[in-house]
A and B are shown apart, each in its own frame.
Chain A
Amino acid sequence: MSMTSRISALLAVAVTATALAFASGELHAQQRKGFSPIDRTDQKKSKQDLNLKGHPTPPLATPLEKIPVDKLRLPAGFKAEIWSHGHPGARTMVIGSKGTIFMGSRLIGRVYAITDRDGKREVKVLLQGLTQPNGLVFRDGSLYVFAINQVFRFDNIEDRLDNLGAPVELTKAFNLPDTLHHNWKYVAFGPDGKMYVQVGANCNICEINPGTHGQIRRYNADGTGMEILARGVRNTVGFDWHPQTGELWFTDNGRDWAGNEGPEDELNVIRKGQEGAFYGFPYCHANGIPDPDIRIPNACAGVTLPAATTGPHSAGLGIKFYTGTMFPKEYQNVAFIARHGSWNREQKFGYDVVIARTDGGKVTIEPFMTGLLDEKANQFFGRPSYLLQMPDGSLLVSDETNGAIYRISYAAPGATKK
């Protein structure tokens, strides 16, 4: 920066102090589009502690020695270790064909590239200043980045980590609603080669515009050919396809301020031939619970109920069907679900990874990775967010609170190999 430009930057600051004075007046003139009616939350009726509040995401990384890896508990034979750290706000993870792990975040606005060099991880801030870039997907050498209000494609990205170049902007092609709330993205390619994207309900509980919100959509990778695959979905930010049936399974976060015990979060499936089905929001939740604040007759008629419920306020985010060979056979095609943990519940709940066995008639949910919640002290130490199966069959778990990734591996008990 030259001396003159430094001075002009400071001048700009000083002038801005007064320029802001008229900014607020201008905003009123703008009418927002796609804006849903007022939130109908009735907190008092919930009989919950009214001082429950969202947990902060620290913008600075937890020092290595304070990352709670020693607290993690797993079934016999499994081991957890710190895979990488120093990337605050750790959430979504995708892997490039050359092994780079790309990581998305929410509030802190960063996308990281994590590379493995001689067994050590190097973390690089690839992008910053974005509005909640939670949606990442990698295909044919390109990284797609979905922020709430922007969509970019970076071609040939793994060869250009140090000099990204200009991306292809796809914002207009996807034409996603620009409302902020519950609109951070989850994106994945399906077995049909289409790109799946969700649009959450922009409230806790309200009458959403079903034409724009509460949906899972699919597109061609260039943003054309939009179809709506699921409606009445409050806030899914994780999905995956069953490796054998090819059906789409998705987590969905239930509404808040309707009691400590529910309605429970959902694990849903779009069965073959049920594309476009209605999943109940805002009228019907969990296993058929009519909403207490928005009442309509026969609230659950015609609603596709969940395959399983996943606990009250547990906040299931990432889901991944395991297809590797490292874990024992009984984990084949089992869905791992990262539960971020509750905020709207007096006794904290979740903060773990569970497994869902979906084959057979009844879906069962079992614990897998625990230890980040001290139930007695009602205190949590980390928040599992997303999962990534590595080429060697190990499973990575991101922890948003600590800015770390844990690697879970398996060795048969008694085996001595490292």
Chain B
Amino acid sequence: MTRLWWRPLALGLAAAAFFAGAPLAQTMPLAERIKLCGACHGEDGNSRTPNIPSLAGQPEFFLVNQLFLFREGVRKVPGMSELTAGLKDDDLVALAKHFAALEAKPSKEAIDPASAKRGAALAEPMRCASCHLPSLTGQEQMPRLAKQRIDYLIHSMTQFRDDARSGADTQMSNVLIGVSDDDIAALAHYASSR
């Protein structure tokens, strides 16, 4: 945990020092920017950082959309708006293409098989697959859930349920209304296991 904590910090500091003389967002070459993303989201786009989502293998449309929402401050996650400020539309597309093309790998968190089984049963009547596909790999504006970090899935679903997630289609808050914490955890274990 401690080491994970320092890696992004060190990289962030290095990047800040390196680019201190110029407006950061507009001049950083794509490769450097990708490295900066990777500090938290994993160099290969598969996050090993608690509560930080994996980006590898996400639908390109979804990634462009989220980057746009961060840049404009619609979706509010501390740091993300600062990191995307000043990016041009083409930059958003380039970043999205990069992470969409990477291979999604399973999270290293422990998946509880009983929980995952219960989650599968819950997911069926909730029709998660109708938008996120039966493989839960996502499509267009709907993210990949398969192999996503469990802690992030719980965080995200809880935000939807509690109408605390800005910048998302409100359909998710409709789907999750009244779903208990236990059920959200089971859904997360199931989705991550796919």
Using a CB–CB distance below 8 Å, which chain A residues touch chain B?
Answer: 1, 3, 6-7, 9-21, 23-24, 27-28, 30, 32, 35-39, 43, 50-54, 56-60, 107-110, 128-132, 178-184, 202-204
- A181 with B171: CB separation less than 8 A: yes
Give Cα A17–Cα B36 distance, bound, in whole angstroms.
13
- A27 with B158: CB separation less than 8 A: yes
Task: Identify 10 new A-B residue pairs, CB closer than 8 A, beyond the known A56-B141, A109-B167.
Answer: A3-B21, A7-B17, A10-B15, A11-B9, A12-B79, A13-B12, A24-B159, A38-B177, A54-B141, A59-B65
Partner of B9 from the list A9, A14, A180, A204 (CB cut-off 8 Å) is: A14
Known: A24-B151, A54-B171, A180-B163. A12 touches B69 (CB 8 A): no
- B167 with A131: CB separation less than 8 A: yes
A265 to chain B, nearest CB (A): 18
**Which of A18, A35, A184 is most buried by chain B, counting CB atoms within 10 A of its CB?**
A18
Interface of chain B: mostly helix, strand, loop or mixed: helix
Give Cα A175–Cα B93 distance, bound, in whole angstroms.
39
- A24 with B16: CB separation less than 8 A: no
- B69 with A35: CB separation less than 8 A: no
Q: Mark B150-170, 1 if CB is under 8 A from A, else 0.
A: 010011001100111011111
B90 to chain A, nearest CB (A): 9
Partner of A11 from the list B13, B19, B74 (CB cut-off 8 Å) is: B13
- A36 with B177: CB separation less than 8 A: yes
Partner of A50 from the list B73, B92, B130 (CB cut-off 8 Å) is: B130
Return the 10 tightest CB-CB contacts between A and B, nearest first: A129-B73, A13-B79, A109-B74, A14-B9, A56-B141, A24-B155, A59-B68, A181-B170, A10-B12, A20-B51
A28 to chain B, nearest CB (A): 6
B177 to chain A, nearest CB (A): 6
Q: Which residues of A contact B13 (CB under 8 A)?
A: 7, 10-11, 14
Closest to B155 in A: A24
- A108 with B69: CB separation less than 8 A: yes
Known: A18-B5, A20-B52, A28-B158. A181 touches B173 (CB 8 A): yes
Closest to A12 in B: B79
- B140 with A109: CB separation less than 8 A: no
Give Cα A37–Cα B162 distance, bound, in whole angstroms.
14
Q: Which residues of B contact A108 (CB under 8 A)?
A: 68-69, 72, 74
Known: A59-B68, A129-B74. A23 touches B167 (CB 8 A): no
Q: Which residues of B contact A51 (CB under 8 A)?
A: 129-130
Q: Which residues of A contact B163 (CB under 8 A)?
A: 32, 178-180
- B69 with A6: CB separation less than 8 A: no
Closest to B49 in A: A17
Closest to A128 in B: B72
- A27 with B5: CB separation less than 8 A: no
Q: Which residues of A contact B171 (CB under 8 A)?
A: 54, 181
- B79 with A109: CB separation less than 8 A: no
Closest to A15 in B: B9
A243 to chain B, nearest CB (A): 34
* 14 residue pairs from A and B, CB less than 8 Å apart: A7-B20, A10-B13, A10-B16, A11-B9, A15-B9, A16-B77, A16-B79, A20-B77, A32-B162, A51-B129, A54-B141, A60-B89, A128-B72, A128-B74
- A30 with B162: CB separation less than 8 A: yes
* Interface assignment of B57: CB less than 8 Å from any CB of chain A: no
- B68 with A24: CB separation less than 8 A: no
Known: A21-B50, A27-B164. A9 touches B82 (CB 8 A): yes
* Interface assignment of B64: CB less than 8 Å from any CB of chain A: yes
- B142 with A53: CB separation less than 8 A: yes
Give Cα A12–Cα B9 distance, bound, in whole angstroms.
9
Known: A20-B51, A27-B159, A53-B142. A6 touches B24 (CB 8 A): yes
- A59 with B131: CB separation less than 8 A: no
* Interface assignment of B83: CB less than 8 Å from any CB of chain A: yes
A342 to chain B, nearest CB (A): 15
- A43 with B127: CB separation less than 8 A: yes
Partner of A21 from the list B51, B72, B80, B141 (CB cut-off 8 Å) is: B51
Q: Which residues of A contact B69 (CB under 8 A)?
A: 59, 107-109
Closest to B156 in A: A24
Known: A16-B79, A59-B64. A23 touches B12 (CB 8 A): no
- B12 with A14: CB separation less than 8 A: yes
Q: Mark B19-49, 1 if CB is under 8 A from A, else 0.
A: 1110110000000000000011000000001
